[in-house]
C-alpha cells in the first residue's frame, strides 16, 4: 500500500467516525446499517437466482427441426434443391449423401435421408470411417456415451435392441431425435418425425421396449 492510499483510507475512516459522533443522536444508525446490509444481500441473491434460472433454461434440450441444414418438413424436391443430387439412392425413398470431409476413406461418413409418403421419415448421420469431423446434435456426437445421452435427455420414448444385443437405438419423440449405440457409444444419430414412429431394428427378432 502506498503512502497516498494509506492517507486516503485513514481520512475516510476518520470522516466516518466524525459523522457517526455528530449524528448518533439524530439518525437511526441501526436502521441505516440494517438496510445497508440487507439491500446488497437481497440484490446479490436475486442476481444469483436469475443467473441460475437463465443457465438452466438455456441448457434445456429443445426439439430439433432440422439436421445437416435440411428441415424435417422438407419434400424430396426441397432436399434436392438444398443438397443437390444424392451420391446414390437405395430405392426411391432413401437418399444417401457422402460427407466431403474425407473423400479418401473407403467408407466415408454419410447422411441418409429416408422418405415416407413424399415426406422425410428421418435424417441420419452415419460416421463410417471418418475420424476428423462429426456434427453435434443436442451436444452429442460420434463416440458420446449411452449413459451421457440419457443423463441429459432422460428416459427415451422408445428403445429398440438388435437380436444379438450388440446395438440399441433410443428415440425421443418430444425432441425429434434418435441415437444408435454400439459398445456403449454413439455411431449414428439424427432426427425423425414422431408421427411415423420411432426407428427400430428391422429384424423380426428385434427386442423393443416402449
CA dihedral 34, 38, 39, 45 (to 10 degrees): 170
> Which residue among 11, 35, 58 closes a domain?
58
Q: How confident is the model over 131-149, as a mean pLDDT?
A: 90
Provide the pLDDT for residue 201.
85
Q: Which one has a higher pLDDT value, 20 or 153?
A: 153
Give the model confidence (pLDDT) of 53-107 as tens digits: 545 455 688 999 999 999 999 999 999 999 999 998 998 899 999 876 555 666 7
Residue 44 predicted with pLDDT over 70: no
Residue 195 and residue 100 in one domain = yes
Domain containing 30 equals 3-58
Residue 32 and residue 81 in one domain = no
Q: In what order do the strands lie in the sheet with 88-89?
A: 88-89, 94-98, 110-116, 119-126, 185-192, 177-182, 167-172, 158-161, 207-209
Residue 131 and residue 74 in one domain = yes
What kind and span of H or E run contains 149?
helix 146-153
> Which residue among 58, 80, 104 closes a domain?
58
Residue 13 predicted with pLDDT over 90: no
Give the model confidence (pLDDT) of 153-190 as tens digits: 999 999 999 988 899 999 999 999 999 999 999 999 99
Residue 78 and residue 178 in one domain = yes
Residue 127 and residue 109 in one domain = yes
Residue 183 and residue 80 in one domain = yes
Residue 205 predicted with pLDDT over 80: no
DSSP structure string for 34-98? HHHHHHHHHHHHHHHHHHHHHHHHHTS-----EETTEETT--HHHHHHHH-S-SEESSSSEEEEE
Residue 40 and residue 75 in one domain = no
Residue 147 C-alpha cell reads as: 449413459
Region at 91 (left for phi over 0; alpha for psi -120 to 50; beta for the rest): left
| C-alpha triplet 160, 166, 167: angle, nearest 5° | 35
Q: Provide the domain count of the chain.
A: 2
The three-class DSSP label of residue 177 is: strand
Q: How confident is the model over 30-37, as a mean pLDDT?
A: 60
Residue 146 and residue 75 in one domain = yes
Residues in Cβ contact with 110 at an 8 Å cutoff, skipping those fewer than 6 apart? 87, 96, 97, 98, 99, 125, 126, 128
The three-class DSSP label of residue 189 is: strand
Q: What pTM was estimated for this model as a whole? A: 0.69
Residue 12 C-alpha cell reads as: 475516510
Residue 28 and residue 95 in one domain = no
> Which residue among 15, 37, 58 closes a domain?
58
Provide the pLDDT for residue 82.
94
Q: Can you tell me the distance from the alpha carbon of 34 to that of 94, in angstroms, rounded to the nearest whole number?
A: 71
Residue 151 and residue 50 in one domain = no
Beta carbons of 94 and 107 less than 8 angstroms apart: no
Residue 32 predicted with pLDDT over 70: no
Region at 84 (left for phi over 0; alpha for psi -120 to 50; beta for the rest): left
Beta carbons of 182 and 142 less than 8 angstroms apart: no
Give the model confidence (pLDDT) of 100-136 as tens digits: 655 566 678 899 999 999 999 999 999 877 666 789 9
pLDDT band, residue 208 (cuts 50/70/90): very low
Amino acid at each position: 500500500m502506498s503512502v497516498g492510499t494509506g492517507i486516503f483510507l485513514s481520512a475516510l475512516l476518520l470522516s466516518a467516525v466524525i459523522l457517526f459522533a455528530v449524528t448518533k443522536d439524530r439518525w437511526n444508525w441501526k436502521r441505516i446499517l440494517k438496510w445497508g446490509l440487507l439491500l446488497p444481500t437481497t440484490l446479490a441473491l436475486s442476481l444469483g437466482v436469475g443467473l441460475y434460472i437463465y443457465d438452466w433454461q438455456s441448457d434445456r434440450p429443445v426439439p430439433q427441426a432440422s439436421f445437416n441444414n435440411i428441415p424435417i418438413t422438407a419434400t424430396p424436391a426441397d432436399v434436392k434443391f438444398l443438397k443437390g443430387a444424392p451420391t446414390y439412392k437405395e430405392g426411391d425413398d432413401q437418399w444417401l449423401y457422402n460427407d466431403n470431409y474425407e473423400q479418401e476413406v473407403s467408407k466415408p461418413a454419410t447422411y441418409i435421408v429416408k422418405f415416407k409418403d413424399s415426406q422425410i421419415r428421418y435424417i441420419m448421420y452415419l460416421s463410417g470411417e471418418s475420424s476428423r469431423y462429426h456434427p453435434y446434435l443436442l451436444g452429442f456426437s460420434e463416440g458420446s456415451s449411452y449413459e451421457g445421452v440419457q443423463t441429459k435427455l432422460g428416459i427415451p420414448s422408445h428403445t429398440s435392441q438388435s437380436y444379438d444385443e450388440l446395438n440399441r437405438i433410443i428415440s425421443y419423440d418430444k425432441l425429434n431425435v434418435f441415437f444408435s449405440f454400439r459398445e456403449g457409444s454413439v455411431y449414428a444419430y439424427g432426427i425423425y418425425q414422431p408421427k411415423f414412429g420411432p426407428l427400430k431394428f428391422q429384424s423380426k427378432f428385434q427386442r423393443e421396449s416402449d
